[in-house]
Amino acid sequence: MAILVDQGTRLIVQGMTGRAGTFYTDLAIEYGTGVVAGVTPGKGGSRHIGVPIFATVAEAVRETRANASLIFVPAQQAGAAMIEAVEAAVPLIVCVTERVPTLDMVRVRHALEGSPTKLVGPNSQGVLSPAKCKVGVMSTADARPGAVGIVSRSASLTSEIVAQTSAAGLGQSTTVGIGADPVHGIGFVDCLRLFMDDDETEGVILIGEIGGNEEEAAADYLRRERPQKPVVALVAGRHAPLERRMGHAGAFTVFGQGDAAAKIEAMRSAGARIAENADLVVQTMRGALLEKAA
């Protein structure tokens, strides 16, 4: 199985006709993702790379029964694009756009309240269920079907851990890039719940970094729920200087909060197995799975 996306995903792409939208939509189609429509205001009724284009999300959903949307809209319009998809009751939205204004994301979060929609991102690599469906910009080169779920805030480390789990024969059930912005959609806890309910996911790798409180929230969840599946955590930024942003809008420590050491200790005390560096993630997961099977 998989979480969030699979062979039944019917995807629309908001901003498909732009350069990035065209490139990554073409890759998704080639991978086997069911892309059913694009959405670009002013271009409704046309076709692009063989896919029908609609002027609005509501019209695209009505005509194609789409159940997911991928957003390639520029940052200043991305918030409105997400809200449009929420108002059209799209079950899953994946937004890869970077630098979406924080106030716009506050408005998006308000629109999401009480809705059935799950948002991944913004500033997300996307969601990949190997050999089933790709929604986003995540590389498929090293992805292989398997039993390990991966949820991450870091794009580069995601690629590294996907390659390592595939090389070790573990593979991935689904990989989710939740995005690194301070205001975003679903987080570590939401993904952990989904992975724990997925029969074919046997263990979860959580890739965190400094800043925010995602890791602390995940630790609270693990402490409260005591899930039976092992969770291996890697937290990047142990040597990052205080109050200096490291790559992502949400990756910085301030007033002594959000540092890697505190996050690592919170996860460890909640029962997660800590990988001290990226090279030890797969070894740590393999040991946890063998221990669980014994």
If residue 217 lies in a helix (H) or strand (E), which one and from where to where?
helix 214-225
The terminus-to-terminus CA distance of the chain in angstroms comes to 24
Q: Tell me if residue 248 is catalytic.
A: yes
Angstrom CA distances, 164 to 207, 210, 224, 291, stand at 14, 23, 30, 20
Which tokens is 204 given?
């979860």
Residues in the chain: 294
Handedness of CA 88, 91, 96, 100 (dihedral sign): positive
- Check: CB of residue 100 under 8 Å from CB of residue 181: yes
Any residues with CB less than 8 A from the CB of 244 and at least 6 apart, and which?
252
Which tokens is 150 given?
């991966």
Angstrom CA distances, 282 to 3, 16, 50, 53, stand at 21, 36, 41, 43
Which tokens is 14 given?
């908001």
Distance CA 28, CA 247 (A): 27
Catalytically annotated residues = 248
